[in-house]
């Protein structure tokens, strides 16, 4: 593979939005093990909350995927691979990134707490605006 081709593949896998429209790979080979990656990610994402025992399994999977991602990038950077193999490695890295994004965004969100924080921030901004508009100095204490 020519240096400019290698550089192009590396830029592709690091580009923001590289995972947009990319599917999570059905399976991925990590060492001697085959992981049914798509099934694993969808199984975990179907749950509303992740039980403590499963959380460790998810964290372990994320560590494994990060290591495999790095290994494949290093193969593109330093390995003696041809253009076709480089393309396959880059596609796999983007698929791994897609799976990692899905796994990183797991967990319950406390919508009520987020809504309350948003309302509180809006109230503070509004009070600050009113004080400035009315020509009053801002207090050193926070607005509640």
Q: pLDDT digits over 54-90, tens only?
A: 788 888 888 999 999 999 999 998 878 898 999 999 9
SS (H, E, C) 13-76: HHCCCCCCCCCCCCCEEECCEEECHHHHHHHHHHCCCCCHHHHHHHHHHHHHHHHHHHHHHHHH
pLDDT above 60: residue 8: yes
Q: Rounded CA gap, 31 and 52, in Å? A: 27
Question: What percent of the chain shows pLDDT beyond 90?
Answer: 12
Q: Is 30:87 a contact under the CB 8 Å cutoff?
A: no
Residues 6+ apart with CB under 8 A from 142: 124
Q: What is the pLDDT of residue 22?
A: 81
Residues 6+ apart with CB under 8 A from 60: none
Higher pLDDT residue, 108 or 5?
A: 5
Domain ranges of the chain: 3-108, 110-144
Give mean pLDDT, residues 31-52. Answer: 81
Whether pLDDT at 47 is above 80: no
Which helix (H) or strand (E) segment holds residue 102: the answer is helix 83-104
- What span, in angstroms and rounded, lies between the C-alpha atoms of 36 and 41? 9
Q: Quote the pTM value.
A: 0.66
């Amino acid at each position: 593979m020519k240096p400019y081709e290698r550089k192009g593949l590396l830029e592709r896998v690091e580009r923001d939005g590289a995972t947009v429209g990319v599917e999570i790979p059905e399976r991925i080979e990590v060492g001697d093990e085959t992981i049914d990656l798509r099934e694993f990610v969808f199984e975990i994402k179907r749950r509303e909350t992740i039980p403590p025992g499963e959380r460790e399994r998810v964290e372990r999977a994320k560590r494994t995927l990060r290591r495999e991602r790095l290994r494949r990038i290093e193969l593109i950077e330093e390995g003696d691979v041809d253009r076709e193999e480089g393309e396959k490695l880059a596609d796999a890295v983007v698929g791994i990134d897609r799976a990692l994004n899905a796994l990183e965004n797991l967990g319950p969100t406390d919508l009520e707490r987020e809504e309350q924080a948003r309302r509180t921030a809006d109230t503070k901004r509004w009070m600050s605006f009113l004080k400035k508009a009315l020509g009053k100095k801002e207090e050193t204490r926070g607005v509640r």
